Amino acid sequence: MSERDRPWVFRTYSGHTSARASNALYRKNLAQGQTGLSVAFDLPTQTGVDSDHPLARGEVGKVGVPVGHIEDMELLFEQLPLDRMNTSMTINATAAWLLALYIATAERQDVDPHNLQGTTQNDIIKEYLSRGTYVFPPQPSMLLTGDMVAYTVEHVPKWNPINVCSYHLQEAGATPVQEIAYAMATAIAVLDGARTREDLPADALPRVVGRISFFLNSGIRFVEELCKGRAMAELWDEITRERYGVQDEKLRRFRYGVQVNSLGLTEAQPENNVIRIALEALGVTFSKKARCRALQLPAWNEALGLPRPWDQQWSLRIQQILAYETDLLEHEDLFDGSHVVEARTRELVDEARAELDEVLAQGGAVAAVENAYMKRRLVESQTARARAIEEGEHVVVGVNRFTEGEPSPLLEGARSVLRVDESAEREQIERLEAFRGRRNDADVTAALQGLKDALANGNNVMPPSIRAAHVGVTTGEWADALRALFGEYRAPTGVVAHAASGAGERTLALRERVHALTGRLGRPLKLLVGKPGLDGHSNGAEQIAVKARDAGMEVVYEGIRLTPQEIVQSARDEGVHVIGLSILSGSHGVLVVDVLEGLRQAGLAELPVVVGGIIPEEDADTLRAAGVRRVYTPKDFDLTHIVGEIVDVVAESAAVH
């Protein structure tokens, strides 16, 4: 028995409402025994819009902390000396900006950036594939990523400039093979780009490779997940050695952080999620050879809404018990020599290598984003998974089996989720306006011009961004400067090209109903599916669109990041019979009402609207009272049933007229 290993870093993904509120939360969590920070930013910050921008409406402070400028960043880390923190920032399109703010804050704290430890997620490829908070097109985005890699390797050497993510791919339905292959393809895209940079000398490449870290998912099939981790370590060793010629073994190590699977956390019998989370934590800690460096556990009530501090604490305790009470860290790897594990690992390596080669043959990760190949494969996997759950092949306890039981005492009584105060948005906007009033406008203008000039000349984005941070440039202003140069991007949804999946009995019956209704209506049933606001999690919307198409409807799938006005105009011009809105960011209270109001003003008050998303029951009641015909949340997994109800809703409306 060897000496006890040090445990991984315990993080909890958090942030909400305001910098001050989040700062208090971070200090509390650190006092509870958390050993690293993991910052969640709100959607406006992630997509480079200021809190008072029209698209920010309803989104400020909801899914994370709003950071609009240097003062917000300083407030976020008040009493948290940055040379003693290990901070992971989940930020992608605007990663360079947030890192610039972090460095500027360190400088104001008199901390040398060389001592800063942490990570910026900065993986734009997965944004195009699943998370949806991209801003610029793929090529300039990869350039920004490269800038951060080149800058940090010299000036912030302990920083991980990128976390190549497979986490989100699993959340979007990826199989283990796809997770491995597409993550590796992304890492290769970053390193191939770094290799060609003029500001990176050839001898720096091994160090750059050594600073590439990953962010994985850990699903409920924990044995396979364990093998997946080992497979990725093997494949990474091969790639770093053969493709990039890295000799030093330490620099070829597969380093990764994990958040365990959240897609599989259920709204029904949510107490079961604690067990799921604990088992998934095992998948990435059990094998020493493939043990995560940092672990984030979601809370048991993620499918219901934002976790409260107690919920986050409960998940933290899981990590602490695993690390400190068990003997897990006292042993060498438990699975070396296991023919079962080694065989499955081998399979995964081989299949993943083949899929990786397929992506590389198409020109690499960027090409496979632009031609929608990877997105299509993910939509396929997700559709297969949804169907398997619907048909009961894939068991989800409490959802499609063992659904009867005692009601959960955890859900009784007072609110079981955190509510972001609606006034937070207004306060943030007021603080932003006051901040703008205090700055030196001449300095701001000069800094923005300097930023644009630097980029136009092909210089690194970091130094001018840090300067801009110091003089008080805002998040929206920084992003707009880049938008002017790079343009704004709309990623393919991967849905249009998808072939109709085989239809089961229920779908065929549904088709009959749709065709009959078409006869009564005079023309085919037309459905508009869209996502208002900044939430980019499009899986649900995509699955509904595909199902509705399979049922015989004409579906106008509008995609993400729409304003309520755009939705109303589309609904009117397209002559749809029903609108389906999808919102997972908590901004439904504001945005759905805006859509309903817009419809009224356009003379379309009779047009039925259904809503899907993360919506607590009280909010669902409010929406229904406002005129929404149906509300769907994660517990509604039966897509055929949902689409059937959409048909009902249209039939009801038709009967009235």
- Closer CB to another protein, residue 371 or residue 622? 371
- Closer CB to another protein, residue 450 or residue 559? 559
3-state SS class at 610? strand
Alpha-carbon gap, residue 396 to 35, rounded angstroms? 33
* CB atoms near residue 485 (< 10 Å): 13
Q: What separation, in Å, do the N-terminal and C-terminal C-alpha atoms of the chain show?
A: 78
Of residues 405-424, those binding another protein (CB under 8 A): none
Which is nearest to 584 in space by CA: 174, 217, 302?
A: 302
Taking the complex as a whole, how short is the minimal distance between the CB of residue 530 and another protein, in angstroms? Answer: 9
DSSP secondary structure, 421-479, as one string = -THHHHHHHHHHHHHHHHS-HHHHHHHHHHHHHHHHTT--SHHHHHHHHHHT--HHHHH
Q: Does 537 participate in catalysis according to the annotation?
A: yes
Taking the complex as a whole, how short is the minimal distance between the CB of residue 497 and another protein, in angstroms? Answer: 7
Alpha-carbon gap, residue 521 to 582, rounded angstroms? 26
Start-end of H helices in 309-364: 309-320, 339-361
Task: Establish if 545 lies at the interface with another protein (CB under 8 A).
Answer: yes
Which is nearest to 536 in space by CA: 42, 174, 88?
A: 42
- Which residues 6+ apart lie within 8 Å of 441 measured at CB? none
Taking the complex as a whole, how short is the minimal distance between the CB of residue 163 and another protein, in angstroms? Answer: 28
- Closer CB to another protein, residue 413 or residue 603? 603
Active site residue: 535, 550, 619, 638, which one?
535
- Closer CB to another protein, residue 47 or residue 262? 47
Binding segment toward another protein, per CB under 8 A, in 209-217, 220-228, 247-255, 517-525: 517-525
Per-residue mark of binding to another protein, 349-378 (x: CB under 8 A): ----------------------xx------
Binding segment toward another protein, per CB under 8 A, in 223-231, 333-341, 351-359, 522-530: 522-530
Position among 258, 553, 611, 646 found at the interface with another protein (CB under 8 A)? 553
- Categorise residue 194: left if φ over 0, alpha if ψ from -120 to 50, beta otherwise: alpha
Q: Does 657 participate in catalysis according to the annotation?
A: no
- Which residues 6+ apart lie within 8 Å of 505 measured at CB? none
- Closer CB to another protein, residue 148 or residue 548? 548
284 near 229, Cβ under 8 Å?
yes
Of residues 109-138, those binding another protein (CB under 8 A): 137
Of residues 136-165, those binding another protein (CB under 8 A): 137
Residue 174, amino acid? A
Position among 295, 451, 568, 611 found at the interface with another protein (CB under 8 A)? 568
Q: Does 83 participate in catalysis according to the annotation?
A: no
484 near 140, Cβ under 8 Å?
no
Active site residue: 62, 69, 126, 168, which one?
168
Taking the complex as a whole, how short is the minimal distance between the CB of residue 571 and another protein, in angstroms? Answer: 9
Binding segment toward another protein, per CB under 8 A, in 140-148, 223-231, 442-450, 569-577: 569-577
Taking the complex as a whole, how short is the minimal distance between the CB of residue 555 and another protein, in angstroms? Answer: 5
SS (H, E, C) 66-95: CCCCHHHHHHHCCCCCHHHCEEEEECCCCH
Task: Establish if 570 lies at the interface with another protein (CB under 8 A).
Answer: yes
State both tokens at 376: 């299509």
Position among 347, 554, 597, 636 found at the interface with another protein (CB under 8 A)? 554
Which is nearest to 134 in space by CA: 40, 43, 39, 47?
A: 47
Q: Does 168 participate in catalysis according to the annotation?
A: yes
- Closer CB to another protein, residue 271 or residue 488? 488
Alpha-carbon gap, residue 316 to 651, rounded angstroms? 49
Active site residue: 498, 531, 547, 588, which one?
531
Start-end of H helices in 321-412: 339-361, 365-370, 373-390
Binding segment toward another protein, per CB under 8 A, in 104-112, 151-159, 323-331, 521-529: 521-529
154 near 111, Cβ under 8 Å?
no
Taking the complex as a whole, how short is the minimal distance between the CB of residue 577 and another protein, in angstroms? Answer: 10
Task: Establish if 523 lies at the interface with another protein (CB under 8 A).
Answer: yes
Binding segment toward another protein, per CB under 8 A, in 171-179, 392-400, 567-575, 588-596: 567-575
Active site residue: 13, 244, 489, 557, which one?
13
Q: Does 531 participate in catalysis according to the annotation?
A: yes
176 near 348, Cβ under 8 Å?
yes
- How far does Cα 403 stand from its chain's mean position? 29
Which is nearest to 95 in space by CA: 198, 171, 209, 190?
A: 190
Q: Does 331 participate in catalysis according to the annotation?
A: no
State both tokens at 361: 């043959």
- Closer CB to another protein, residue 74 or residue 574? 574
Position among 241, 452, 511, 641 found at the interface with another protein (CB under 8 A)? 511
Per-residue mark of binding to another protein, 470-509 (x: CB under 8 A): -----------------x--x-xx-xxxx-x--x------
Q: What helix, strand, coil percent values describe the chain, rounded to 5?
A: 55, 10, 35
List b or e across 384-416, with b for residues whose CB sees 16 or more CB atoms inside 10 angstroms.
ebbbebbeeeeebebbbeeeeeeeeeeeeeeeb
Number of amino acids touching another protein (CB under 8 A): 44
Position among 569, 589, 635, 654 found at the interface with another protein (CB under 8 A)? 569
Position among 369, 548, 607, 642 found at the interface with another protein (CB under 8 A)? 548
Task: Establish if 578 lies at the interface with another protein (CB under 8 A).
Answer: no
128 near 369, Cβ under 8 Å?
yes
Task: Establish if 555 lies at the interface with another protein (CB under 8 A).
Answer: yes
- Gyration radius from the chain CA atoms: 24
Taking the complex as a whole, how short is the minimal distance between the CB of residue 411 and another protein, in angstroms? Answer: 38
Taking the complex as a whole, how short is the minimal distance between the CB of residue 98 and another protein, in angstroms? Answer: 27
Position among 165, 191, 556, 615 found at the interface with another protein (CB under 8 A)? 556
Binding segment toward another protein, per CB under 8 A, in 39-47, 79-87, 229-237, 562-570: 562-570
- Closer CB to another protein, residue 293 or residue 483? 483
Q: Binding residues for another protein, per CB under 8 A?
A: 137, 371-372, 487, 490, 492-493, 495-498, 500, 503, 511, 514-515, 521-524, 545-546, 548-559, 563, 565-566, 568-570, 572-575
Any idea which residues carry the catalytic annotation?
13, 167-168, 531, 535, 537
